[in-house]
Amino acid sequence: MHHSKQENKSRGFLAQLVQSIWFTPRGSGVRIPQDPQKRKRNLSKKFGFLAQLVQSIWFTPRGSGVRIPQDPQKISQISGRFFYFYTEQIETTLHFSPYLFTFALQLNSAYVKELHLISFNYPYPPSYGGIIDVYYKIKALSDLGIKIHLHCFIDQIPDKIDPEVKEITENIFFYKKKKNPLLYFSQTPFAAAIRDSQTLLTNLEKIKAPVLFEGLQTTSIIRFLRKNDHKLYLRYHNNETEYYKGLSLSEKNLFKKIIYRIESLKYTGYQKKLLKRFETVFCLSEKEYKEVEDYSGNAQLIHLFHGNQSVKQLDKKGNYFLFHGDLTTADNKRALNETIDLFKILPQYKLVIASDRASEDIKRKISEVKNISLTPIQTTEKLHDLLENAHGNILISYQNSGTKVKLFNTLYNSRFVMINGNITDDPVLTDLCLYGADMNEIRQHIITSAEKDYHDTENRKKILENTHSDIAKAEEMIKVIFKN
């Protein structure tokens, strides 16, 4: 094939452009940045489709990592030939590298993938169930080159944005939740009615991109969105009718019990009215997937995003049993009371309760039992340290709302896990745990596991790292949202 001098200049120009992205000169050689994931993410965010073309030159997949060719001259030759292939298709109209560069930018603009994500709260630190799923979903999508326009409903606008959020988002918008108590009397569920903003609508109109709602509580504005302007998607965190019904049953305060029950009834009609409005509803659990698919036929099962990458290699024995969670929720308080009663009759075993939100009443109950202690969590690192040193973990719930995020943290970072039937509806995950149908069976698992050595690391690695990777889940979502 004959290459004209001008064509050689064009492909040489682009090869140099590409090379300048990857390499920082050092003397006569080159320096390659050491973090492939960060390099890939930053390049994807800046250059979109063009970056994907470039990456196909530079990277050869090997397992979960990448291999970078060692010879810069060879890379330059490959990139020149590669870009020449694309420029050759338009050589009748484009003859100069400035035009070619303009075309490349237009091509990049046409293929860049952007997504509005509306969160019920600011997603950092990722310290509890729903917000853990939000944060690590954003991170995984960003790692795959998606530009995220993040919209957060919050009580108070923060003074600064955490770098951990800033580096994985394109834009961040904040909206204050409404504090009008009269909204309790609205037909719209209270959690959704307080998350309503005209400014949000304006910001969505500025950037034409698909919209992902995080939970039904963020969907109040949907009544103002014309479907042909935005493709609408829902992350279905809970069947809210069942969730609030469960809270009402677990709650001891009569006023809160009534409020939760009313909210449950409001969501019954609200869910049915909205579910068919979405292109796809991304469900967390098998149970909710079946419910949505039967009702509206637009469900897709995408399990929880949890942030764990590899199963920890641990010694055979830990030092205590661990219960951890947010002790302001009715479900966790009920589970804790059952667990405390259990360890009162097992004085030979030490129980550590980890939480940053324990009431004075809970602190008093714990102090009355010699083999039980309370410790704060404060950071993810501290939680992982507590999990790594635990021999067994007690995970109890009285709400049937799919797989709980604490199960993933525990399976990746600790030893034996004792659960009841509401912690997960995934049979694969259940098989990795010690299941108890009631507290008597949980008690028996505590006694038998205390005498055992832990040997399940390899089995967990095989199952969790292959089937529950955050990146694999993000890739599935991208295929659905950007299928056209």
CA–CA dist 479, 481 (Å, integer) = 6
Residues 292 and 375 in one domain: no
Residues 102 and 191 in one domain: no
For 95, residues 6+ apart whose C-beta sits below 8 A from its C-beta are 6
Q: Which domain does 462 fall in, by range?
A: 320-467
Residue 388 located in a structural domain: yes
Residue 193 located in a structural domain: yes
Residues 358 and 388 in one domain: yes
For 105, residues 6+ apart whose C-beta sits below 8 A from its C-beta are none
Residue 394 located in a structural domain: yes
CA–CA dist 295, 293 (Å, integer) = 5
pLDDT at 42: 55
This prediction has a pTM of 0.72
Residues 303 and 183 in one domain: yes
Q: Alpha helix locations (H) across 59-162?
A: 72-88, 97-111, 129-143
pLDDT at 43: 53
- Axis-axis angle for helices 457-467, 405-413 (nearest 10): 130
One-letter amino acid of 183: L
Environment class of 219 (CB within 10 Å of its CB; exposed 0-12, middle 13-18, buried 19+): buried
Helix (H, G, I), strand (E, B) or coil at 390: strand
Report residue 132 as tokens.
């853990």
- 341 neighbors 364 (Cβ within 8 angstroms): no
For residue 415, give the CATH number of its domain.
Answer: 3.40.50.2000
Helix (H, G, I), strand (E, B) or coil at 402: coil
Residue where the block lists tokens 């709400």 = 399
Residue 260 located in a structural domain: yes
Residues 138 and 99 in one domain: no
For 66, residues 6+ apart whose C-beta sits below 8 A from its C-beta are 36, 40, 59, 60
- 108 neighbors 47 (Cβ within 8 angstroms): yes
Report residue 200 as tokens.
């949000």
Residues 38 and 145 in one domain: no
Residues 382 and 476 in one domain: no
Residue 238 located in a structural domain: yes
Residues 142 and 70 in one domain: no
pLDDT in tens, 85-134: 343 443 433 444 555 544 554 445 456 899 999 999 999 988 777 899 99
For 200, residues 6+ apart whose C-beta sits below 8 A from its C-beta are 118, 151, 173, 175, 221
Helix (H, G, I), strand (E, B) or coil at 266: helix
Residue 381 located in a structural domain: yes
Residues 444 and 411 in one domain: yes
Helix (H, G, I), strand (E, B) or coil at 174: strand
pLDDT at 250: 83
CA–CA dist 290, 283 (Å, integer) = 9
Helix, strand, coil percent values for the chain (each to nearest 5): 50, 15, 35
CA–CA dist 34, 417 (Å, integer) = 37
- 413 neighbors 390 (Cβ within 8 angstroms): no
Q: Maximum CA pair distance of the chain?
A: 87
Residues 150 and 264 in one domain: yes
CA–CA dist 152, 21 (Å, integer) = 33
Residues 447 and 476 in one domain: no
pLDDT in tens, 329-345: 888 999 999 999 999 99
DSSP secondary structure code for residue 183 in this structure: G
Domains: count for the chain? 3
Nearest Cα residue to 147 out of 479, 484, 478, 480: 478
Residue 30 located in a structural domain: yes
pLDDT at 111: 64
What pairing do the DSSP bridges indicate for beta strands 24-26 and 29-31?
A: antiparallel
DSSP secondary structure code for residue 60 in this structure: E
Residue 312 located in a structural domain: no
pLDDT at 57: 43
Residues 346 and 283 in one domain: no
Q: Residue-wise pLDDT tens for the chain (484 aa)?
A: 434 434 444 444 444 444 444 444 444 344 444 455 555 555 555 455 444 444 444 444 433 333 343 444 444 334 433 443 343 443 433 444 555 544 554 445 456 899 999 999 999 988 777 899 999 999 999 999 999 999 999 999 998 999 999 999 999 999 999 999 999 999 999 999 999 999 999 999 999 999 999 999 999 999 898 766 789 999 999 889 988 998 898 888 999 999 999 999 999 999 999 999 999 999 998 889 999 999 999 999 999 999 999 999 999 999 999 999 889 888 899 999 999 999 999 999 999 999 988 899 999 999 999 999 999 988 888 999 999 999 999 999 998 777 888 999 999 999 999 999 999 988 999 999 999 999 999 999 999 999 999 999 999 999 998 889 999 999 999 999 998 7
- 215 neighbors 239 (Cβ within 8 angstroms): no
